[in-house]
Amino acid sequence: MTTAAIFGLLGTELTPAERDFFRSADPWGFILFARNVADPDQLRRLTGDLRDAVGRDALITVDQEGGRVQRLRAPHWAEWSPPLEDAERGAQAMRLRYRLIGKELRAVGIDSNCAPTLDIASDSTHPFLQNRCLGRNVDDIVPRGRAAAEGMLEAGVLPIMKHMPGHGRAVADSHKETPVVSATHEELSGTDFATFRALNDLPLGMTAHIRFTDLDDAPATASGRMIRVIREEIGFDGLLMTDDISMNGLSGSIGDRSAAAIRAGCDLVLHCHGQMDEMEQVVANAGEMTQSAAARGDHALSFRRAPDTATAETLLAEYRALGGQVAWAQA
């Protein structure tokens, strides 16, 4: 069976206990963090070992937005400015930026990226998120988000749009507490939900641990009403994963949170910290992927393709011609 989960791990090498656990649990995919990264050779070994543990070409993702949120850093990988700063250069710059990011990821066996962030930034958006966004209105974010996603796909990397159905109005950090948004359903539909609606054909999405009080009392990740908004009003029929189930935007045990997310309609539980006892709770409570979730997973993986043949040097020159600035590790 394939567990309805994406798991992290503790270090730069897969331990025997982790290998045995992953072989038994068979999570749908894996996520990596800075603690798992040393250098390109090590990372290629690790991604290969993770896939060997489950006996298939499992998806491996990472948060490589650029700016503060990027897990692969100098001296082996490029250092990028925050997305909001770069997005002002336009859609073509974003496409080139994420083609370059995708090339670096694919070269070490990572075939997915937790980006683009389609939340709408404002002056009140919490600082943990604000400069990770792609703009301050729907008209700017949609073409930039589309370009970022297409750039990653061209590089052979699957994008994961986040945080559905919209995190930009949150003035709290969902890593620490549950943000509460009181905007009306009508207002949300015309703004926050609209960026995701315009890109609802993308293969993968991630939920937000946010309460939308005009719609439900539960955070979106654990709310059947909000998952229906994502599926029906936004029209997203791709594979839907939770944001990290360990974040304090949710309450209850890891097992309770996992069960609530699956019950609400999420396809996968994302657990990032690599703590074995918590992952065991996820396995016990998320259970096996449903038939519909498995079908959406297969559809998402069908978007994987060989990277384009453009050289990084060519793409980098085009990007810099548009005013893009990056400390490119390979230049």
Closest C-alpha to 312, from 329, 299, 294: 329
Dihedral (CA of 161, 166, 169, 175) sign: negative
- Report, as residue numbers or ranges, the catalytic residues: 175, 243
SS3 169: coil
Cα 82 versus chain centre, distance: 16
Torsion of Cα atoms, 164 then 170 then 175 then 178, to 10° = -90
Residue 261 carries which side chain, given as an amino acid letter? A
Half-sphere exposure of 66 (CA within 13 A, CB side): 30
Reading the block at residue 316, the tokens are 């980098």
DSSP state of 221: G
